[in-house]
Structure 1
């Protein structure tokens, strides 16, 4: 098994066991079941090259209608959360600059993810704490379509926070760490 294949398999396990298993994204199970998720490992730590990689994945979504969502995974870079947040900000700016605003949405996941005004040991952070730093690119039209059939979508983040806090920090960390 190549290193990239192992990273992708671990990421799939995290998505299945944590994201789908905890129902953090009620739309993820269907996309995973349909096998319309694309995974790409980027080994560079150069932010400019990583942004180019993200742009290439947006172009992939342009060209390949059977792909609903893409995870761009950075297993060897952006270990510091602040460095990762800089990448996210630059990625959002680039997507707007390239005309992708309203077409693709960017979601962010990081092993040290911490919501603004949260404490480090808040189990709620595990709703976005992945096994590797990664950027998640989603089709906005698919999100809009999924939301049409979902009652009270504005409650999803709060429900996720409540779930993680009820399960507790030890449980959430163990669940995530078991994916590696």
Structure 2
């Protein structure tokens, strides 16, 4: 591991590349393309080095998103490269994140989705390629507006199919294809 954390610009560049190549490029989330194209994603790189610091930053970002004009900021990616690198610790933190949403009376208004470099579904092996549906370059909390999700789901013919389609896409791509897709040297973006 490097002795110094990556710069915010590097973190955002890696995360943007993942969003464009994997999330949008593979259509893992059919709702992501529109907010990205409209510039409605708030990109925040956390400086937190402890879960407590991250929780305070999450509080600030939840409040920011709750009060922001949805036409300007529809969703936030809170990327935290210096804390919760261990997936099990990250997974445990999600309970604190949900409790914070409830404490702020934002349940039903905002929700927190999660992405992690070592994401693993509970019933999958660590090297199962389908885990890549939720694998990002850095631990990331995705803050979403509930009403935006509801509108997107209503416009999609069968939202339950997304999960199954994602698994099939990743199985076809395979580990080698995923590695090529995420390769820094690849100029496609």
TM-score range, shorter chain: over 0.9
Secondary structure at the aligned position of 2:84 is classed as: coil
- What is the TM-score with the length of structure 1 in the denominator? 0.94
Secondary structure at the aligned position of 2:47 is classed as: coil
- Give the root-mean-square deviation of aligned CA atoms: 1.6
1:177 is displaced (CA, Å) by: 4.6
Cα distance in 1 for partners of 2:9, 2:68 equals 21
Cα distance in 2 for partners of 1:83, 1:69 equals 24
Match of 2:21 in 1: 17
Secondary structure at the aligned position of 1:168 is classed as: helix
Contact 1:130–1:176, Cα closer than 8 Å, also in 2: no
Match of 1:59 in 2: 63
How many equivalent residue pairs? Answer: 179
Whether 2:155 is the aligned partner of 1:149: answer yes
Cα distance in 2 for partners of 1:11, 1:34 equals 17
In the TM superposition, what are the counterparts of 1:16-35 in structure 2 within 5 Å? 16-35=20-39
Match of 1:121 in 2: 127
The gaps in structure 2 that reach 5 residues or longer are: 1-5
Change (3 A) 1:177 1:74: farther
Q: Tell me the alpha carbon deviations over residues 32-63 of structure 1, each in whole angstroms, 9 at most, x when there is no partner.
A: 00000001111212111101111111111122
Whether 2:84 is the aligned partner of 1:78: answer yes
Contact 2:66–2:110, Cα closer than 8 Å, also in 1: no
Cα distance in 1 for partners of 2:117, 2:60 equals 24
The gaps in structure 1 that reach 5 residues or longer are: none
